[in-house]
């Protein structure tokens, strides 16, 4: 089993781009469905899709809609009307587009809740409806509609995946013992019942078939037992051991109704000879065993739906579960959709795989297609791990950068700091240290635009004949700043004690780092000269604004504006923040606005790559 997640994602992406996935659901749109914002859409542009959001945002509801998409499946199996929770009739509907194969056109299918007296929760395939955004189709499967997609479906809700033992011992309540069991689950009666019934389960695990209750032939208590060991289901056994970190030699699995209602029981045997059932196993063990068996038994191109699979799994097991699922997609071209809160599951996943569910100010749920995992976790109030760092020259640059980060809704992922000493300190003192240690890969330098050289030479553009020439590399490093600052190589024993080859290697590292981590404010301008340039700046600041705006007078303009707004010059920081906000509020009408967006988006994408 391939364990490199990056390799798995690249191989799956390649297969997907070639159209290797049959009967693949490309997108699903919700003109009206539960509490989703009208006309919400999910794009399934990677075969493993993860729905991320707080509880109550509708992730499970969407899984139920996806479950009901294929032929002979109905969302009504999970969402149905009752006297307590009635469903408003005639409004809920969704449609989806799918391709039968790489050469097929998209076929759109509309599913509507169409209750009748015989089937009060029936969802039927309806005629194409252009009014709700469906596309005209001159090649429908019938006169007015397309057939639903044909896919085998595996749907697993891990929160409700209880073993037969847990269902009875923890949750079954008879009327006489209701008050007592309200506070005490493990009462004498439930223990005695399980002890009495366990003899039947033991007979099943020992291989006896067709065990009946009360000697009545029609009262069969169980289905056929499955044995998973090195001779039968070796691949399943290996996967289960891999995910759970166990050393099972054998697993016996049976679906039965020995404990009142139907449920699954397992019996495992370890390499040390220990033998125990689900009563003494963790809930995660039972769920993973059942899930692995269901997924590995599913046919090629199946639809796999998993609701919060991280329940009862430690982080290591969660990561291994993700690796298993990606391998199954690669081998069998499954389409998998997961509802999750787990950072372990969503980290390393491509942006296109993640869909963020958020409740808006109107109380409905918005769906955002394509978010970075840190962005998703900030929105569900999980702690973002180590923040990325941007270093700049002064408070004006800091205010500008922070303002644009806020506009992009990515401020939470960055710390922005300025260093006394300006560009020369950043280039000669900080860059050499940052470039030579991988731990600083998420630290970036943004210099004022007046420090941008006439020609920026990227490391990847240096001619092959110059890449190992010390004099050429020294010159390229000096030209990282318009000031032509000399950057000493940090080498063993000081510069005099180093050899030529070591200096070459160090200078190469400086240039490699600069290519991805060193930026300049746009227009070859200082930050004050940038934020003063927007359409109605003169109307706002009047004669305090010196024109034409340039690097020579921009700081003086800020000082003049500060004098107008405040009784003294002690509030320049507040002034520059106010000017920056006005520049950002004018957006596209502000000079260099798009350039700043591009710089910070480039940094953000690098941090999430």
Decide if 606 is inside a domain: no
Domain end point (choices 260, 291, 322):
291
Nearest to 219 by CA among 257, 165, 245: 257
**How many angstroms separate the CA atoms of 125 and 75, rounded?**
12
Is omega for the bond preceding 548 within 30 degrees of 0, making it cis?
yes
Same domain? 139 vs 12: yes
Decide if 281 is inside a domain: yes
Question: Per the structure block, which two tokens stand in for 600?
Answer: 């910070």
**How many angstroms separate the CA atoms of 94 and 148, rounded?**
12
Structure letter (DSSP) for residue 163: B
Q: How far is CA 331 from CA 2, 226, 595, in A?
A: 11, 24, 43
Structure letter (DSSP) for residue 397: H
Compute the radius of gyration of the chain from its Cα atoms: 32
User: What global pTM score does this model have?
Assistant: 0.67
For the chain, how many structural domains are there in total? Answer: 4
**How many angstroms separate the CA atoms of 108 and 25, rounded?**
10
Domain end point (choices 240, 260, 291):
291
Decide if 608 is inside a domain: no
Listed in sequence order, the residues at least 6 apart from 214 whose beta carbon sits closer than 8 Å to its beta carbon are none
176-204: burial string, b at 16+ Cβ within 10 Å, e else:
eeeeebeeeeeeeebeebbeebbebbeeb
Decide if 468 is inside a domain: yes
Summarize pLDDT for 154-195 with one digit per residue, the tens.
Answer: 998 876 666 666 666 555 555 455 444 444 444 566 777 888
Same domain? 130 vs 14: yes
Handedness of CA 337, 343, 345, 349 (dihedral sign): positive
Same domain? 10 vs 144: yes
Give the count of beta carbons closer than 10 Å to the beta carbon of residue 538.
14
451 burial via Cβ count (<10 Å: 0-12, 13-18, 19+)? buried
Q: Which residue has the tokens 């070591």?
A: 502
Same domain? 498 vs 451: yes
Decide if 207 is inside a domain: yes
Return the pLDDT at 118.
60
Nearest to 396 by CA among 220, 173, 572: 572
**How many angstroms separate the CA atoms of 453 and 216, rounded?**
91
Question: What's the count of helices (H) and strands (E) in the chain, helices before strands?
Answer: 20, 19
Decide if 607 is inside a domain: no
Give, for 53, the enclosing helix (H) or strand (E): strand 48-53
Q: Where are the alpha helices (DSSP H) in 18-140?
A: 59-67
Q: How far is CA 34 from CA 78, 283, 488, 590, in A?
A: 13, 31, 64, 41
Same domain? 13 vs 92: yes
Q: Domain range holding 194? A: 160-291
Domain end point (choices 358, 379, 400):
379
Backbone angles phi, psi at 31, to 5 degrees: -55, -40
Same domain? 515 vs 401: yes
Backbone angles phi, psi at 125, to 5 degrees: -80, 125
Decide if 17 is inside a domain: yes
Return the pLDDT at 186.
47
Same domain? 17 vs 129: yes
Listed in order, strand segments (DSSP E) in 168-325 are: 226-228, 248-256, 263-270, 275-277, 303-307
DSSP-derived 3-state class of residue 145: coil
Same domain? 331 vs 466: no
Same domain? 19 vs 137: yes
**How many angstroms separate the CA atoms of 455 and 467, rounded?**
18
Decide if 77 is inside a domain: yes
279-291: burial string, b at 16+ Cβ within 10 Å, e else:
bebebbbbbbbbb
* Cα within 13 Å of Cα(355), Cβ side: 26
Strand order in the sheet with 335-340: 153-157, 303-307, 335-340, 48-53, 354-359, 365-369
Nearest to 34 by CA among 340, 367, 368, 380: 367
Listed in sequence order, the residues at least 6 apart from 441 whose beta carbon sits closer than 8 Å to its beta carbon are none
Return the pLDDT at 179.
47
Same domain? 247 vs 144: no
- Strand partners of residue 267: 252, 277
Same domain? 238 vs 251: yes
DSSP-derived 3-state class of residue 437: coil
Cα 332 → chain centroid = 22
* Cα within 13 Å of Cα(132), Cβ side: 25
Category of 393 on φ-ψ map: left (φ > 0), alpha (ψ -120 to 50) or beta: alpha
Listed in sequence order, the residues at least 6 apart from 187 whose beta carbon sits closer than 8 Å to its beta carbon are 177, 180, 181
Work out the percent of the chain whose per-residue pLDDT is above 90.
49
Give the count of beta carbons closer than 10 Å to the beta carbon of residue 137.
16
* CATH code of residue 76: 3.40.50.300
Listed in order, strand segments (DSSP E) in 308-385 are: 335-340, 354-359, 365-369
Structure letter (DSSP) for residue 78: T
Listed in sequence order, the residues at least 6 apart from 528 whose beta carbon sits closer than 8 Å to its beta carbon are 396, 554, 555, 557, 558, 576, 579
Do β-strands 303-307 and 40-43 pair in parallel, antiparallel, or remain unpaired?
Answer: unpaired
**Residue pair 546/533 in contact by the 8 Å Cβ criterion:** no
Summarize pLDDT for 351-369 with one digit per residue, the tens.
Answer: 999 999 988 889 999 999 9
Nearest to 302 by CA among 152, 408, 484, 421: 152
Residues (pLDDT < 50) of the chain are: 175, 178-186, 383-384, 494-495, 497
Same domain? 51 vs 136: yes
DSSP-derived 3-state class of residue 595: helix
Return the pLDDT at 483.
85
Summarize pLDDT for 64-92 with one digit per residue, the tens.
Answer: 999 999 999 999 888 887 767 777 776 88
């Amino acid at each position: 089993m391939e364990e490199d997640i990056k390799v798995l994602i690249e191989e799956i992406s390649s297969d997907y781009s070639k159209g290797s996935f049959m009967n693949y659901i490309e997108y699903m749109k919700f003109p009206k469905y539960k509490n989703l914002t009208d006309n919400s859409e999910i794009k399934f542009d990677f075969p493993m899709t993860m729905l991320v959001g707080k509880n109550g945002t509708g992730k499970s509801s969407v899984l139920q809609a996806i479950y009901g998409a294929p032929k002979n499946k109905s969302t009504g199996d999970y969402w149905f009307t009752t006297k307590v929770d009635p469903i408003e009739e005639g409004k809920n509907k969704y449609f989806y587009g799918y391709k039968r194969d790489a050469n097929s056109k998209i076929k759109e299918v509309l599913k509507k809740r169409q209750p009748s007296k015989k089937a009060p929760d029936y969802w039927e395939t309806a005629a194409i409806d252009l009014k709700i955004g469906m596309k005209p189709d001159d090649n429908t499967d019938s006169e007015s509609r397309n057939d639903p997609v044909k896919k085998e479906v595996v749907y697993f809700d891990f929160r409700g995946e209880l073993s037969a033992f847990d269902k009875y011992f923890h949750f079954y309540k008879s009327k006489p013992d209701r008050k007592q069991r309200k506070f005490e689950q493990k009462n004498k009666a439930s223990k005695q019942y399980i002890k009495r019934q366990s003899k039947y389960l033991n007979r099943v695990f020992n291989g006896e078939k067709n065990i009946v209750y009360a000697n009545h032939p029609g009262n069969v208590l169980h289905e056929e037992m499955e044995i998973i060991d090195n001779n039968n289901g070796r691949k399943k056994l290996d996967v289960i051991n891999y995910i759970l970190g166990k050393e099972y030699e054998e697993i016996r699995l049976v679906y039965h109704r020995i404990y009142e209602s139907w449920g699954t029981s397992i019996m495992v045997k370890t390499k040390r000879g220990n033998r125990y059932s689900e009563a003494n196993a963790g809930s995660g063990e039972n769920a993973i065993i059942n899930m692995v068996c269901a997924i590995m038994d599913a046919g090629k191109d199946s639809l796999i739906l998993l609701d919060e699979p991280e329940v009862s799994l430690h982080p290591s097991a969660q990561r291994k579960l993700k690796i298993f699922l990606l391998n199954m997609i690669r081998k069998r071209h499954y389409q998998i959709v997961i509802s999750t809160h787990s950072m372990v599951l969503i980290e390393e996943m491509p942006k296109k795989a993640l869909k963020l569910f958020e409740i808006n100010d109107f109380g409905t749920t918005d769906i955002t297609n394509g978010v970075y995992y840190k962005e998703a976790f900030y929105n569900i109030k999980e702690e973002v791990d180590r923040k990325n760092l941007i270093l700049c020259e002064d408070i004006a640059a800091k205010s500008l950068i922070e303002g644009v980060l806020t506009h992009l809704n990515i401020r939470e992922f960055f710390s922005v700091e300025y260093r006394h000493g300006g560009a020369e300190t950043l280039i000669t003192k900080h860059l050499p240290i940052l470039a030579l240690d991988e731990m600083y890969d998420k630290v970036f330098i943004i210099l004022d635009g007046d420090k941008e050289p006439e020609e920026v030479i990227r490391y990847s553009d240096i001619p092959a004949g110059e890449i190992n020439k010390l004099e050429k590399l020294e010159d390229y490093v000096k030209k990282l700043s318009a000031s032509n600052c000399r950057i000493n190589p940090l080498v063993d024993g000081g510069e005099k004690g180093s050899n030529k080859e070591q200096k070459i290697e160090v200078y190469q590292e400086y240039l490699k780092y600069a290519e991805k981590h060193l930026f300049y404010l746009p227009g070859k301008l200082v930050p004050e000269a940038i934020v003063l340039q927007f359409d109605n700046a003169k109307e706002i600041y009047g004669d305090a604004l010196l024109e034409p705006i340039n690097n020579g007078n921009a700081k003086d303009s800020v000082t003049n504006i500060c004098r107008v707004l405040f009784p003294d010059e002690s509030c320049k920081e507040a002034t520059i923040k106010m000017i920056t906000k006005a520049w950002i509020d004018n957006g596209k009408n502000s000079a260099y606005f798009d350039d700043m967006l591009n710089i910070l988006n480039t940094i953000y994408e690098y941090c999430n790559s």
